[in-house]
Amino acid sequence: MSDPTGFDSGEGQGARNLPPLKLHVPEPPARPGEAADFTHFEIPPVGAQPRPDEAAAPADMRDLAYGLVRVLDEDGQTAGPWNPKLPPETLLKMLRAMALTRAFDGRMFRAQRQGKTSFYMKSTGEEAVSIGAALALARDDMCFPSYRQQGILIARDWPLVDMINQIYSNKGDRLKGRQLPIMYSARDAGFFSISGNLTTQYPQAVGWAMASAAKGDTRIAATWCGEGSTAEGDFHSACTFASVYRAPVIMNIVNNQWAISSFSGFAGAESTTFAARAVGYGIAGLRVDGNDVLAVYAATRWAADRARANGGPTLIEHFTYRVEGHSTSDDPTAYRSAEESSLWPLGDPIARLKQHCIAIGIWDEERHAAMDRELAELVRDAAREAEKNGILGHGLHHPMESMFEDVFEEMPWHLQEQKQQMLDEWKAAGL
């Protein structure tokens, strides 16, 4: 007797009268050699997104996860309810910090090409994400960054020489060569140790925020990851804990369109926004123009005020673009159109803020050029100072026995034996 549903009950058999299933494989809009195309992006006008009260229920602000918070328009003017109306000194501090981050990146990129370090990652085009957030947070709020938020340290005036020492893994490196280059750790700057494992910082940030709330502290946490990393299980575990316990944490997704050589569609960008991840967890969600430093500042300040008022977590998607390769080990011309970076519709974050500062009469081209020269010299001098401590590849910069240290308060016997065996063999080899 035939099955009226049209399905065969035999093992491994499908429906007899249905078309075969097809698997969708995401494709980027343009490959190398093809014309870049951003016409599928919907860029709403400045001021189109409302600014809800910081205590608003997540369900009442659902649409903000699908729009785009913007403050700076194409003419360098500010508008809309998200305008933070910052004083001139703060605007110029933002501009300087972003320009210094770019100068630092440029110098360290050249250092890698000169063999002074093995690896570097630039944040070109994404400076507003870290600088805007760093200036909106309190100095003692704890940041759990990914590997492209060096701007946080720079905005918090962390010594450049210390950062370069870490990149070179030299004798001045406080981490004693135990971390890959650019994986900084600066507790005094509220900067948690960077990890090469994707998104481990998310549950760490949520746990830190929960602990801060449990002991009645006033500090909040903020964390960052790339859009591709939202596919990691740690991201979703963190969202669950943040939602359930209303942790005072800001969870930032830096959607720069590319995760190494995979475009954002493989992480779900074709289906919805990354800010929409917040909707399913009952978390407040914002989608922000990541190349508008004033929008980043305003969104972060809103989320920080919400967290301090015990309103719970906020998930912010920063819609931006990775201008350079993923790292010095990457060649983006192998997987994306060469035109993309120049045609990105949201422009350059430094150029946009510079245009605004000129438009309101607090800046000009001459002062900007002078600042660029000053910052280039500042980074050059810091690099030369750090190089006095050595560069990568010029021998060991720390005693061999240091690899056994700083793990246990009292070194256990088996490690003491291993350390002595290593030193004996080292000596016997005449090294």
Instruction: Give the pLDDT confidence of 254-293 residue by residue, as tens digits.
Output: 999 999 899 999 999 999 999 999 999 999 999 999 999 9
Strands of 293-372 (E only): list them: 314-319
Let me know: does 377 contact 383? Beta carbons within 8 Å: no
Interstrand relation of 258-259 and 249-255 (parallel, antiparallel or unpaired): unpaired
Question: Average pLDDT of 160-168?
Answer: 97
Question: Average pLDDT of 102-107?
Answer: 98
Q: What pLDDT does residue 39 have?
A: 87
- The pLDDT tens digits of the residues spanning 173-195 come to 999 999 999 999 999 999 999 99
Confidence of residue 58 (pLDDT cuts 50, 70, 90): very high
Least confident of 108-122, 228-242, 414-428: 414-428
- pTM of the entire predicted model: 0.93
- The pLDDT tens digits of the residues spanning 61-75 come to 999 999 999 999 999
Return the amino acid letter for 177.
G
Q: What pLDDT does residue 278 have?
A: 98
Report d(CA 1, CA 52) in Å as an integer. Answer: 62
Q: What pLDDT does residue 14 have?
A: 64
Cα distance between the two ends of the chain: 84
- The pLDDT tens digits of the residues spanning 339-367 come to 998 999 999 999 999 999 999 999 999 99
pLDDT of residue 22 exceeding 70, the answer is: yes
3-state secondary structure 179-238: CCCCCCCEHHHCECCCCCCCCCHHHHHHHHHHHHHHCCCCCCEEEEEEHHHHHCHHHHHH
Q: What pLDDT does residue 401 have?
A: 86
Q: What pLDDT does residue 84 have?
A: 98
Q: What pLDDT does residue 87 have?
A: 98
Return the amino acid letter for 163.
M
Q: What pLDDT does residue 123 have?
A: 98
Q: What pLDDT does residue 142 have?
A: 98
What value does the mean pLDDT of the chain take? 94
Give the residue with greater pLDDT, 84 vs 20: 84
Q: What pLDDT does residue 7 have?
A: 57
pLDDT of residue 318 exceeding 90, the answer is: yes
Report d(CA 387, CA 112) in Å as an integer. Answer: 13
Q: Which two tokens stand for residue 63?
A: 């649409």
Share of the chain above pLDDT 70, in %: 97
Confidence of residue 16 (pLDDT cuts 50, 70, 90): confident
pLDDT of residue 15 exceeding 90, the answer is: no
pLDDT of residue 3 exceeding 70, the answer is: no
Q: What pLDDT does residue 105 have?
A: 98
Q: In whole angstroms, how far apart are CA 199 and each of 55, 259, 274, 320?
A: 28, 13, 15, 19
Interstrand relation of 262-263 and 314-319 (parallel, antiparallel or unpaired): unpaired
